[in-house]
Amino acid sequence: MYKAIDIAIIPEQSILNLACQINASFEDRRIDLNLVNAVPHLTLSMGVIAQANEQVLVDGLKVLAEKYQGLELELSHVFNAGFKTDSAEGLGIAASEDLMNLHNDSVELMQAYIEGYYEADIFADYEQGLGESCMNWLKRFQVECTGKNFDPHITLGFGSVPEQKPCKFKAGLLALYQLGNYCTCNSLIAEFNLHKSQN
């Protein structure tokens, strides 16, 4: 069995609330963000793996979460995917050195386990149907969206995102999800806290 998965940062509650609030204002409901099966997130790495390799990634993710405790992020601009069709918008996140390092570490963790299996059943909610862009977004991530091409953002959906005041916020969780339609974080596999312990 194969799964489309996402190594992702789940932001602190205030940003989750903002993301859901903006998404709720969009007329186009193809992406319907919520805190259960379409969780707002910042993708660090994305691809298809065999379920047999899932635990290896979970173990590696735990190590990364310990390494990046206290990670702070900055909302900096409105993100536009720039596709000719299905051009989603979101909250653009500043590409800090720590964030870029975590991205590169996440890509490296997943790289050895990437599979070339691209059938609908890799998505958690495939039986409900998949959008045209869904598979394409997944396929192009490792090729076009990593390293120097990584453009960190939190996708909000198909609509116009209002300008936001730049603000810093905490990266709440480092998580592994099985993807759903439109590469949403649909089914939680594992999560680790990124908050520093208050000792």
Residue 84 has pLDDT above 60, yes or no: no
Q: What's the rounded Cα separation, in Å, for the pair 30 and 141?
A: 20
Distant-in-sequence contacts of 99-106, Cβ < 8 A, 24+ apart = 99/71, 99/73, 99/152, 100/150, 101/68, 102/9, 102/44, 102/64, 102/68, 102/71, 103/44, 103/45, 103/146, 103/150, 103/152, 104/147, 105/64, 105/67, 106/7, 106/44, 106/45, 106/64
Residue 198 has pLDDT above 90, yes or no: no
User: Which residue type does 89 have?
Assistant: E
What local confidence, expressed as pLDDT, does residue 199 receive? 44
Lowest mean pLDDT segment, chosen from 51-55, 86-90, 94-98: 86-90
What local confidence, expressed as pLDDT, does residue 195 receive? 83
CB 190 within 8 A of CB 176: yes
Q: What's the rounded Cα separation, in Å, for the pair 161 and 68?
A: 29
Q: What angle do CA 163, 169, 173 make, to 5 degrees?
A: 120
The model's pTM: 0.94
Q: Is residue 50 part of a domain?
A: yes
Q: Is residue 25 part of a domain?
A: yes
What's the chain's Rg over C-alpha atoms?
16
State whether the Cα torsion 77-81-86-91 is positive or negative. Answer: negative
Which has more confidence, 170 or 83? 170
Q: Residues 6 or more apart from 56 whose CB is under 8 A from it?
A: 113
Q: Is residue 199 part of a domain?
A: no
Average pLDDT for 106-133: 94
User: Helix (H, G, I), strand (E, B), or coil: what is residue 17?
Assistant: helix
Residue 33 has pLDDT above 90, yes or no: yes
Q: Is residue 112 part of a domain?
A: yes
What local confidence, expressed as pLDDT, does residue 59 receive? 98
Residue 66 has pLDDT above 60, yes or no: yes
Q: What angle do CA 98, 188, 32 make, to 5 degrees?
A: 90
Lowest mean pLDDT segment, chosen from 54-58, 76-80, 90-94: 76-80
- The CATH number assigned to the domain holding 116 equals 3.90.1140.10
Q: Scanning the structure block, which residue is given the tokens 């405790």?
A: 69
Q: pLDDT tens digits, residue range 157-172? A: 999 999 999 999 999 9
Q: Is residue 140 part of a domain?
A: yes
Q: Is residue 96 part of a domain?
A: yes
Q: Is residue 198 part of a domain?
A: no
Q: Is residue 142 part of a domain?
A: yes
CB 162 within 8 A of CB 109: no
Average pLDDT for 17-26: 97
Where in the sequence is the domain holding 68, given as residue range(s)?
A: 2-193
**pLDDT classification of 86: cutoffs 50, 70, 90:** low
Number of domain units in the chain: 1
What local confidence, expressed as pLDDT, does residue 92 receive? 96
Average pLDDT for 139-144: 92
Query: Which two structure tokens, joined as six digits, stand for 140?
Result: 């192009």
